[in-house]
Structure 1
Amino acid sequence: MQSTTFQSLILKGMNRFGDLPAVTLLPDEKTMTYKELLVKTRLISCYLRWLGVGRGSHIATLIPNSLEGVMFGLAIQQCGATLVPLSDKLGTREVDFILKESKPKVVIIATHTHIDTVLDYLEGSIDHDVRIIGLPGFGVHFPNRFELFQWPVESMDLVFPTASADDIALLSYTGGTTGTPKGVIHSQEGLGAAMLSAAIEDPLDDRDRVLLSTPLVHSGGSLLWRALISGVHIYIMPSFQTKHFMHAIKEHKITTTFMVPTMLYRLLDLAKTVNYDVSSMRNIYYGASPISQERLKEAFELFGPIMRQQYGMTECNIVISRLSKSAHVWAYHNKPEVLKSCGKPCLLTEVRLIGDKGNEVGPLELGEIIVKSPAMMVGYYQRPELTKGAIRDGWFYTGDIGMRDESGYLYIMDRKKDMIISGGMNVYSSEVERTVNQHPAVALSACIGVPHKDWGEAVCVIVTTKEGFSCTEEEIIQFCKQNTSKYMVPKIVYIQDTLPLTPIGKINKTELKKMYALGMLTIK
Structure 2
Amino acid sequence: MDTLTFQAFLFNNINKYDHQPALTCVETRETITYRQLRNVVEATANQLIRIGIKVGTHVAIVIPNSIENVVYNLAVSRCGATVIPLNDKLGVREVEFILRDSEPQVIIMATEKHVNSVLEYQKETGKKSVTVIGLPGFGIDYPDEIQTIHLDDKPVSMAFPAAEMDDLAAISYTGGTTGTPKGVMHSQRGFGASLMASCMEYPYDDQDKVLFCTPLIHSAGVLLQRSLVSGCHIYIMKNFHPEVFLQTVQEARITSTFIVPTIIYRLIDEAKTKSYDVSSLRNINYGSSPISAARLKEAFEIFGPIFRQQYGMTECSILISRLTKSDHLWAYENDHEVLKSCGKPCMMTQIRLIDENGDDVEAQTPGEIAVKIPSLSVGYYKRPDLTVEAYRDGWLFTGDIGKLDDHGYLHIVERKKDMIISGGFNVYPAEVERIVNQHPAAAMSACIGIPHHDWGEAVCIFVVLRKGETCTKQELIEFCKGRTSDYMVPKEVYFKTDLPLTTVGKIDKKELRKPFWEGTARLVN
Cα distance, 1:464 vs. partner?
Answer: 6.5
- 1:512 corresponds to: 490
Partner of 1:244: 244
Cα deviation for residue 156 of structure 1 reads 5.4
Mapped partners of 2:337, 2:132: distance in 1: 52
Which range is displaced more, 241-250 or 128-137? Answer: 128-137
SS of the residue corresponding to residue 225 of structure 1 reads: helix
Contact kept in structure 2, 1:47 and 1:152, CA below 8 Å: no
Tell me which residue corresponds to 2:15.
15
Question: Partner residue of 2:413?
Answer: 413
Deviation at 1:150, TM superposition (A): 3.3
Q: Which residue is equivalent to 1:184? A: 184
Q: Give the CA deviation at 1:14.
A: 1.7
Give the 3 Å change call, closer, same or farther, for CA 379–158 of structure 1 in structure 2. same
The answer to whether 1:62 aligns with 2:40 is no
Count residues with an aligned counterpart.
457
Alignment partner, residue 366 of structure 1: 366
TM-align CA RMSD: 3.2
Note if 1:376 corresponds to 2:354: no
2:49 alignment partner in structure 1? 49
Indicate if the aligned counterparts of 1:305 and 1:325 stay in contact, CA closer than 8 A.
yes
Q: Residue by residue, what CA displacement relative to the aligned partner does 1:371-424 show, whole Å, maximum 9, x if unpaired?
A: 0111111100010111000101111010001001132110011111349xxxxx
| Aligned-partner residue type, residue 182 of structure 2 | K
CA distance in 1, matches of 2:291, 2:148: 45
Question: How far, CA to CA, are the matches of 2:394 and 2:326 in structure 1?
Answer: 32
Which segments of 5 or more consecutive residues in structure 2 lack a partner in the other structure? 434-445, 456-472, 498-525
Q: Distance in 2 between matches of 1:124 and 1:458?
A: 33
The 1-side partners of 2:451 and 2:313 are apart by 25
Residues 74-123 of structure 1: per-residue CA shift (max 9 Å, x gap) = 01111000000111211211111111121111111112121000011111
Partner in structure 2 of residue 90 of structure 1: 90
2:396 and 2:454 mapped to 1: Cα distance?
Answer: 38
Shift of 1:254: 0.5
Aligned to 1:485: none
Shift of the alpha carbon at 1:160? 1.1
Tell me the equivalent position of 1:193: 193
Separation in 2 of the partners of 1:2 and 1:517? 59
Aligned to 2:515: none
- 1:329 aligned partner, one-letter code: L
CA shift digits 1:151-208 (9 cap, x unpaired): 4685555431111111100111111685211000001111111111111122000111
The answer to whether the 8 A contact 2:40-2:154 is kept is no
1:291-346 per-residue CA deviation (whole Å, 9 max, x = no partner) reads 22321221111111000000001111012100000010011111221111100001
Name the SS for the 1:417 alignment partner.
coil
Alignment-derived partner of residue 441 in structure 2: none
CA shift for structure 1 position 257: 0.5
The one-letter code sitting in structure 1 at the alignment partner of 2:60 is A
Whether 1:202 aligns to 2:202 is: yes
CA distance in 2, matches of 1:238, 1:518: 41
TM-score for the superposition, normalised by structure 1: 0.81
> Are 2:208 and 2:256, in contact at CA under 8 Å, matched by a contact in 1?
yes
SS at match of 1:397: strand
* Partner residue, 2:327: 327
User: Could you give the per-residue CA deviations for residues 447-467 of structure 1, whole angstroms, max 9, x where no partner exists?
Assistant: x9999xxxxx9998465689x
Residue 277 of structure 1 is matched in structure 2 by 277
**d(CA) in 2 for partners of 1:296, 1:91:** 32
8 A contact 2:39–2:156 mirrored in 1:
no
Distance in 1 (CA, whole Å) between partners of 2:454 and 2:35 is: 48
Letter in 2 for 1:4: L
Q: 1:2 to 1:136 in 2, by over 3 A?
A: same
- Counting only pairs closer than 5 Å after superposition, residues 318-467 of structure 1 correspond to structure 2 as 318-418=318-418, 461=450, 463=452
Mapped contact 1:258–1:286 kept (Cα < 8 A) = yes
Tell me which amino acid in the other structure corresponds to 2:199: A
Structure 1 segment 92-107 matched on structure 2, within 5 A: 92-107=92-107
Number of the residue aligned with 2:502: none
Cα distance between partner residues in 1 of 2:356 and 2:184:
26
Q: Is the 8 A contact 2:55 2:80 kept in 1?
A: yes
Q: Cα offset for 1:288?
A: 2.3
Instruction: State the SS of the aligned residue for 2:200.
Output: helix
Distance in 2 between the 1:152 and 1:160 partners?
17
Q: Is the alpha carbon distance of 1:96 and 1:176 closer, same or farther for their aligned partners in structure 2, counting shifts above 3 Å? A: farther
| Contact 1:94–1:176, Cα closer than 8 Å, also in 2 | no
Distance in 2 (CA, whole Å) between partners of 1:182 and 1:458 is 20
Give, in whole Å, the separation in 2 of the partners of 1:241 and 1:112.
22
CA–CA distance in structure 2, aligned partners of residues 107 and 417 of structure 1: 32
Instruction: Tell me which residue corresponds to 1:171.
Output: 171
SS in 1 for 2:274: coil
Query: Aligned partners of 2:320, 2:386: CA distance in 1, in Å?
Result: 21
- Mapped partners of 2:84, 2:209: distance in 1: 27
- State the SS of the aligned residue for 1:327: helix
The residue type paired with residue 3 of structure 1 is T
**Deviations along 1:462-509, whole A, 9 cap, x unmatched?**
65689xxxxxxxxxxxxxxxxxxxxxxxxxxx99xx9xx99xxx995x
2:36 aligned residue: 36
Preserved CA contact (<8 Å) 2:36 2:153: no
The structure-2 alpha-carbon separation of the partners of 1:118 and 1:410, relative to structure 1 and needing over 3 Å to count, comes to same
Percentage of identical aligned residues: 49
Q: Which has the higher contact order (CA 8 A, sep 6+)?
A: 2
In structure 2, C-alpha distance between the alignment counterparts of 1:517 and 1:110, rounded to whole Å = 40
Q: Distance in 1 between matches of 2:9 and 2:238?
A: 26
Q: 1:271 deviation in Å?
A: 1.1
Cα displacement string for residues 244-297 of structure 1 (whole angstroms, at most 9, x for unaligned residues)? 111110010001011110000010011111111100001001112332232122
- SS of the aligned residue for 1:114 comes to helix
Distance 1:344 1:371 in 2: 12
Match of 1:317 in 2: 317
CA distance in 2, matches of 1:47, 1:225: 22
SS for the counterpart of 1:387 is helix
What is aligned with 1:214?
Answer: 214
Query: What is the alpha-carbon distance in structure 2 between the residues aligned to residue 517 and residue 260 of structure 1?
Result: 32
Q: Given the superposition, is the C-alpha separation of residues 245 and 143 from structure 1 closer, same or farther in structure 2, using an over 3 Å criterion?
A: same
Distance 2:128 2:93 in 1: 21
Deviates more, 1:72-81 or 1:404-413: 404-413
Contact 1:46/1:155 (<8 A) preserved: no
